[in-house]
Chain A
Amino acid sequence: MDVLINIFSGAFLLIGSFLCISGGVGIIRFPDFYTRMHAVGITDTLGAGLILIGLMPLSTDVFVFAKLCMILLLTLLIGPTTSHVLAKAAMHNGLAPKLNSGICTQADEEGTGSLNP
């Protein structure tokens, strides 16, 4: 039983660590603010959730388990909300996304200034 718990939590911690590092690579390598936000918003929520779920079987007390559940709920609520507010504020203040001219010809004809109110 002990070995099973260790394998379970170790697998979750490993996947969560991989997602956190991939989010770090994404925030460095991606070319645009919105693509960076895509990388961070996804990997933050999922990586944090997986790491916290991986810590849950290692808890020695009921209160520790409850606190981990509380942090998990807070993370699941806070991450998407912050991403939404950040994207809305950036879009509202006229930060234009970097568009490929071959794909989005209409946006290029109108000019990116159309994003400004």
Chain B
Amino acid sequence: MITAATIAIFIAMFLAILRGIVGPTFYDRILAVNMFGTKTVLLIALLGFVMGRPEFLDIAIVYALINFISVIGVLRYSDSNEFKHHKNPPDRES
């Protein structure tokens, strides 16, 4: 059952990175990256049990913290005009 959960996590990660590539707005991409990071934490925890090395859980804790900090850090800069969402983008994709 752990292997099935690992495969399900892989499928969810693939779908998330698909949305991250085709996402029309900037926030869709951040959402996809956040989901990818959460799924990566789960994947590391599951792989630790699959491979019989539960020490991987330390890496999972660190990855969860880094994921949170990076998303908050990117969103902190979205207040500037560089990332402002336009309804009709002038010449570049927002």
Residues of A at the B interface (CB closer than 8 Å) are 6, 9-10, 13-14, 16-18, 20-21, 23-25, 27-28, 33, 36-37, 40, 44, 47-48, 51-52, 54-55, 58-61, 64, 67-68, 70-71, 74-75, 78-79, 81-82, 85-86, 89-90, 92-96, 112
Residues of B at the A interface (CB closer than 8 Å) are 1-2, 4-5, 8-9, 11-16, 18-19, 25, 27-28, 30-32, 34-35, 38-39, 41-42, 45-46, 49, 54, 57-58, 60-61, 64-65, 67-68, 71-72, 75, 78-79, 83-87
B78 touches A71 (CB 8 A): no
B34 touches A93 (CB 8 A): no
- Interface hub of B16, B27, B39, B67 (most chain A Cβ within 10 A): B27
